[in-house]
Homo-oligomer: A and B are copies of this chain.
């Protein structure tokens, strides 16, 4: 049912890299499972930005070996009564706070996910701090799960997540990447027969990749997330269009 652990643990946080928090979390993980392989998914989620964090959680689905454990820590409510979740879904495992960060695992409706509340007391965990549960609670649990000390079902009882990020009513820009590419919530299928997209008051034609248009031109294409993106060949679409996350977008006719 649940996959065998791969021994791989990924880390997604809003800790940044200018402090030693990520390194210290890894120390806690290695104390629980010295042989684990650790992968940094991203640590530059803007502080407390659950929307970006959740987008990155969704973006990793299907991208890692069966049985990989993902630790996600964007946790403005750390130390309060919010639950910590363990989720088995998509042939991988995820650990994180119950604040919506993990909701792409059970959204859109119908995605199957086995959600547990991590039973901190039962696992014998006593958090050393009230502000760093990534280190004190999630890292050891991730190590035990990845290292095989505990199976998924032993982490705690089934649980209905209390928080889910609101689904978007209309298509929008969901992320702007380093290159200034505007990643939208539009999926590939309906786009296949569209002429392009309308965004920021501009009609942007559909193409296959950057090099299919002259330098400086804007294009819409299916990007690596499987979503429609808008880019500028050799430039930043975000800067050219002066747009940010949340900008509405719509499909153009064929």
Contacts and interface: CB of A to CB of B under 8 A. Distances in A.
A39 B63 contact: no
Interface residues of A, number: 66
A18 B44 contact: yes
Interface of A: 6-8, 10, 12, 15-24, 26-28, 30-31, 34, 37-44, 47-48, 56, 59-60, 63-65, 68, 76-80, 128-132, 135-136, 175, 177-179, 208-212, 221-224, 226, 229, 234
Contact of A23 (B27, B42, B221, B229): B42
Contacts of A23: 10, 12, 39-42, 60
A54 to B, nearest CB: 12
Nearest to A6: B34
26 contacts: A6-B30, A6-B34, A8-B30, A8-B34, A12-B20, A15-B178, A17-B17, A17-B40, A19-B178, A20-B59, A21-B224, A23-B39, A24-B60, A26-B39, A27-B60, A27-B63, A27-B64, A27-B68, A28-B63, A34-B37, A34-B65, A38-B39, A130-B208, A130-B222, A131-B209, A132-B223
Contacts of A6: 30, 34
A209 to B, nearest CB: 3
A224 B56 contact: no
A175 B211 CA distance: 28
A6 B79 CA distance: 32
Contact of A211 (B18, B77, B209): B77
Nearest to A208: B130
Contacts of A48: 234
Contacts of A136: 224
Contacts of A26: 39
A146 to B, nearest CB: 12
B177 A19 contact: yes
Closest 9 interchain pairs by CB?
A79-B209, A132-B224, A80-B211, A23-B41, A16-B178, A27-B63, A130-B209, A18-B44, A27-B64
